[in-house]
């Protein structure tokens, strides 16, 4: 094998490019002196069978190093090593003895860096993953195309690929894998959601977490995956087929199957930091190829890293080279992997300029918004970071959607029964125009959520007053203390029927509010069947039953599941619940029909918003301007008080009567009635709305 034939190659697309004759390699480094390409025969090899030396005279054009290796093919394995100055005070951390991953590797073999390798110790290369050469042209997408579901018709289901089917209760043939997700597509279809938002699937090392569970003594993992190693590679261990490169094919199979089912695929992506950590971390790729370009370093002490992410380092995202890397990565996942959009973790870090200051004209976020390839993808920002940036309502770049934490907190407080929060809740239900109107955006730019992966599940939100993260190994110091939750008289699970009844009712309230609010609703996998994490509100390290979807809950909480399915169906059928523009009020009324929205106090009068407390009432006009087609009128009454209230019902459109479609106080399957089964009200003027409940009427 020493006679392997190489040539200088040429500048091409960075990463690897497969041809019939061999493989082109291209990688970036501005300050390296020499680069070594190590070729491996198998994933378990401790040493390469051949090393190709790249020198700047023949293998470098500008800052791109390139080589062509004849005879290599898809499935072959490689790593890099990079020679250059090791002067941390000047930002350089080159080490020619350190094996490195290709920053643009499209797949990794099995293995772990953090389980077997430690800085300063022997490098167990037989346990280290190898980069896998992938030929994207070999996959047949058939007629798969982006679904391009409009934002106003979107309902997002946030889920963890492994956690969704890892439990033995899932009953799938391939638990915890992309193929396991495929097996559960009928369930996803039955829900009626439009998109799955997958927690990180770009390659990461779950053994990065070295904490020990104090109860079991078992080493915990980085289960969520918010610590990326390979930005172009789907996680190998989520594939049922572990052969090198097979994860790419299986991920594509999953996307194609979801698209065939009418479900979009959104990826939770982590460009704000990497797994390389701070000055005490380990070189995996960026640090070893050109540390000072890829990271924000302390200006006068470049041996140290700025930490806007809270995870040890911060990516220098607005450096032109790093911008190109991120854009190329997004292009790859859209063009080659067919994903439909992205949720950007701690996205405010991506708006920081090269001096680390948040910018209103951040080049990267503007590029992502305006990029011609990404133009029809969904782009969702978590509009804050851990360095103090908070950009809710004004995330820079144009068409961005945002996780709306104002919605989360306002609705939690209102349904909990907090005093004088009705005004805030009304603003959130109406689409948060206070946040998005000034920038020219609409309600669809608000991603409305009550729960997310980070925090209590919806069941735990009504079951616990305090977090219970003792098993995370951090003495319950981790996770938020601001949960805005209420246990209804007992901390944790209970057999008390009264407590259980009010908890179930509150969950119906949360789901009802989420589905009748303007904006894009999102909820967490398992909330629809009362999945619990035992009060753990930061289960990032729990790769076990705490985090996994328990499929027994589907049977045990079938009534709630049916309620949520019907709610989603109701929202999907009626455009009054998913407007593209903000409400216009009285000016939207046509021919004396009700306007798009009218607000009422419990007695039918116009609200005095300074006095509104624990009650909201509003009518949605189905014939108002701004809708794609005529719809029914709806009247919603929300009584979050501990007392029942007799309300006055406003008039519907002429010639129509009110029918009851939802009453969350009813603890049976009749709490929601659809498809012509709605309850014809004997009284069209009054209704007793029970304590802690929501009433929804439809006009027909």
Cα distance between residue 585 and residue 462, in whole Å: 35
Cα distance between residue 491 and residue 509, in whole Å: 20
DSSP 523-567: EETTGGGT---TT-S-GGG--STTTS--THHHHHTHHHHHHHHHH
Q: How many CA atoms within 13 Å lie on the side-chain side of 246?
A: 12
Is 89 in a helix, a strand, or coil? Answer: helix
**Strand 401-403 relative to strand 446-449, pairing:** parallel
Cα distance between residue 39 and residue 76, in whole Å: 8
Angle between helix 405-416 and helix 497-516 axes, rounded to 10 deg: 140
CA distances in angstroms from 413 to 392, 425, 428, 485, listed in the order given: 19, 8, 12, 8
Cα distance between residue 272 and residue 296, in whole Å: 11
Closest to 199 (Cα-Cα) out of 554, 555, 522: 522
Is 433 in a helix, a strand, or coil? Answer: helix
Active-site residue identified among 38, 268, 345, 349: 345
Q: How many CA atoms within 13 Å lie on the side-chain side of 140?
A: 1
The Cβ of residue 359 has, within 10 Å, a number of other Cβ atoms equal to 17
Q: Does the annotation mark 345 as catalytic?
A: yes
CA 116 to chain centre: 30
CA distances in angstroms from 156 to 39, 382, 430, listed in the order given: 42, 15, 19
CA distances in angstroms from 666 to 223, 285, 567, listed in the order given: 38, 57, 15
Q: Does the annotation mark 633 as catalytic?
A: no
CA distances in angstroms from 484 to 416, 450, 515, 520, listed in the order given: 8, 11, 20, 22
Cα distance between residue 421 and residue 611, in whole Å: 10
Query: What pairs with residue 159 in β-bridges?
Result: 198
DSSP 205-234: -GGG---B-TTT--B----S--SEEEEEEE
Query: What pairs with residue 597 in β-bridges?
Result: 620
b/e string for 451-478 if b means 16 or more Cβ within 10 A? Answer: bbbbbbbbbbbbbbeebbbebbbeebeb
Active-site residue identified among 83, 276, 382, 596: 382
* Run of H or E including 509: helix 497-516
> Active-site residues: which are they?
345, 382
């Amino acid at each position: 094998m020493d006679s392997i034939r190489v040539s200088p190659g040429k500048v091409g697309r960075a990463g690897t490019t497969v041809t019939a004759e061999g493989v082109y390699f291209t990688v970036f480094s501005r300050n390296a002196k020499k680069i070594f390409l190590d070729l491996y025969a198998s994933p378990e090899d401790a040493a390469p069978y051949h090393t190709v030396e790249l020198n700047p005279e023949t293998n470098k054009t500008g800052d791109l190093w390139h080589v062509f290796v004849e005879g290599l093919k898809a499935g072959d394995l490689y790593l890099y090593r990079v020679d250059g100055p090791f002067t941390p005070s000047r930002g350089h951390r080159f080490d020619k003895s350190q094996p490195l991953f290709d920053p643009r590797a499209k797949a990794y073999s099995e293995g772990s860096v953090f389980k077997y390798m430690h800085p300063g110790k022997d490098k167990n290369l037989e346990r280290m993953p190898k980069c896998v050469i992938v030929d994207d042209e070999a996959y047949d997408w058939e007629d798969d195309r982006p679904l391009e579901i409009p934002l106003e018709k979107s309902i997002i289901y946030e889920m963890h690929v492994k956690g969704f089917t890892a439990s033995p209760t899932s009953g799938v043939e391939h638990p915890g894998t992309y193929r396991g997700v495929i097996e559960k597509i009928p369930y996803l279809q039955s829900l009626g959601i439009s998109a799955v938002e997958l927690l990180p699937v770009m390659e990461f090392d779950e053994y990065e977490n070295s904490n020990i569970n104090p109860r079991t003594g078992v080493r915990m993992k980085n289960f969520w995956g918010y610590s990326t190693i390979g930005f172009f590679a789907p996680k190998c261990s989520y594939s049922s087929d572990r052969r090198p490169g097979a994860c790419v094919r299986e991920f594509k199979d999953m996307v194609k199957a979801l698209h065939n089912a009418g479900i979009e695929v959104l990826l939770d992506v982590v460009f704000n930091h990497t797994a390389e950590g701070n000055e005490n971390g380990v070189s995996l790729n960026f640090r070893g190829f050109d540390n000072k370009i890829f990271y924000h370093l302390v200006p006068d002490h470049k041996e140290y890293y700025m930490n806007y992410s809270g995870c040890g380092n911060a990516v220098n995202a607005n450096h032109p080279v790093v911008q190109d890397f991120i854009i190329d990565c997004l292009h790859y996942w859209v063009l080659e992997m067919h994903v439909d959009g992205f949720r950007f973790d701690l996205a405010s870090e991506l708006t920081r300029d090269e001096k680390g200051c948040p910018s209103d004209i951040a080049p990267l976020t503007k590029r992502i918004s305006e990029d011609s390839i990404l133009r029809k993808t969904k782009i969702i920002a978590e509009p804050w970071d851990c360095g103090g940036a908070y950009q809710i309502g004004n995330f820079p770049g144009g068409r961005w959607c945002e996780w709306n934490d104002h919605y989360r907190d306002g609705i939690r407080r209102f349904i909990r029964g907090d005093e004088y929060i009705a005004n805030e809740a009304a603003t959130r239900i109406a689409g948060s125009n206070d946040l998005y109107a000034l920038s020219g955006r609409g309600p669809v730019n608000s991603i409305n959520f009550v729960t997310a992966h980070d925090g209590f599940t919806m069941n735990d939100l009504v079951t616990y007053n305090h977090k219970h993260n003792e098993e995370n190994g951090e003495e319950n110091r981790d996770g938020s203390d601001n949960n805005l939750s209420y246990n209804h008289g007992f901390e944790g699970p209970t057999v008390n029927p009264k407590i259980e009844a009010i908890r179930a009712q509150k969950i119906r309230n949360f789901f009802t509010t989420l589905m009748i609010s303007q904006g894009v609703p999102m909820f967490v996998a398992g909330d629809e069947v009362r999945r619990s994490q035992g009060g753990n509100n930061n289960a990032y390290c729990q790769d076990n039953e705490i985090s996994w979807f328990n499929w027994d809950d589907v049977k045990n909480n079938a009534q709630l599941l049916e309620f949520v399915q019907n709610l989603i169906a109701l929202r999907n059928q009626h455009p009054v619940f998913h407007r593209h523009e903000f409400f216009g009020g009285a000016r939207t009324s046509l021919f004396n029909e009700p306007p798009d929205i009218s607000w009422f106090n419990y007695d039918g009068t116009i609200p005095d918003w300074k006095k509104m407390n624990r009650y909201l009432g509003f009518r949605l006009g189905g014939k108002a301007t701004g809708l794609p087609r005529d719809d029914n009128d709806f009247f919603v009454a929300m009584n979050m008080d501990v007392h029942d209230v007799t309300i006055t019902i406003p008039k519907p459109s002429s010639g129509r009567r009110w029918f009851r479609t939802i009453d969350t106080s009813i603890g049976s399957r009749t709490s929601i009635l659809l498809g012509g089964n709605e309850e014809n009200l004997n009284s069209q003027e009054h209704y007793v709305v029970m304590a802690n409940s929501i009433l929804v009427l439809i006009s027909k």
